[in-house]
Amino acid sequence: MNRMRMARVMVAVGVATLLGSAGLAESKTNVRLAEGTKIVFTLNDTLSTKNAREGDRFSGVVSRSVRVGNQIVIPEGSVVRGEVASVKRAGRVKGRAELGLRFQEIELPNGTQLDLVASLTSLDEGEKETVTEEGQVKGEGSKKRDAAEIGGGAAIGTAIGAIAGGGKGAAIGAGSGAAAGVGLVLLQRGKDVKISRGSEMAIQLDRTLSVPVE
């Protein structure tokens, strides 16, 4: 008889546990964040075309909670993770450096991990780099600097030519000076893309994201 009672108690406890679990499961609802939703985060790592390699991992911490109405869907403190997708250093004469970033995952403070399909839309205002329509980071151009160096070489060449032989010598000197300036440019690369740790970045969803919210 005692065994029968014990069995009934165990069954009752089991049923109660299942019902309680079902109640907890039902307390969570999925909120869908639409394509185009913006997520702002602070970068944990410094990224640069000078030393970055394809496949390098990076992360950042969400700095502004994402809400739907009055409900927080992605809390501040969530972690965004991704990897370097492409690296292109600036050419020696022309072209800008480019850094492609792929965003793959977001982890909520409760440990829930969600696949992420998103594109970079903007950088911290303090950064000199720009974001292209394709979501790549493009470095600052070096045309002004190159022109200044070539022009400076020409000016020095003119002075040398003038001392050597007057008017005609000045013309020759200017040509050789400009050539020296071009050589200087050829020896230098354009500016690398660099996004410093602590920079604020913004991405937008390229695909709807379903987030479980209690």
Write out the two tokens for 69: 């109405």
* Dihedral angle, C-alpha 120, 139, 81, 67, nearest 10 °: -30
35 falls within a domain:
yes
pLDDT tens for each residue of 3-40: 555 555 454 545 445 445 444 444 679 999 999 999 99
Low-confidence ranges of the chain (pLDDT < 70): 1-27, 92-94, 125-130, 132-136, 138-189
Report the candidate in 206, 89, 201, 191 with the shortest Cα–Cα distance to residue 140: 191
Q: What is the pTM of this model?
A: 0.65
Q: What is the pLDDT of residue 114?
A: 97
Q: Note whether 77 and 156 are same-domain residues.
A: no
Residue type, 130: T
- The gap between the terminal CA atoms of the chain, to the nearest Å, is 44
Within a domain: 18: no
Other Cβ atoms within 10 Å of 7 Cβ, number? 10
Residues 149 and 107 grouped into a single domain: no
User: What confidence score (pLDDT) does residue 96 get?
Assistant: 81
**How far apart are the C-alpha atoms of 99 and 88, rounded to whole Å?**
6
Asked if the structure places residue 96 within a domain, the reply is: yes
pLDDT for the residue 97: 87
- Residue 154 and residue 71 in one domain: no
Question: In which domain, by residue range, is 91 found?
Answer: 29-140+191-213
Cβ–Cβ < 8 Å for 208, 32: yes
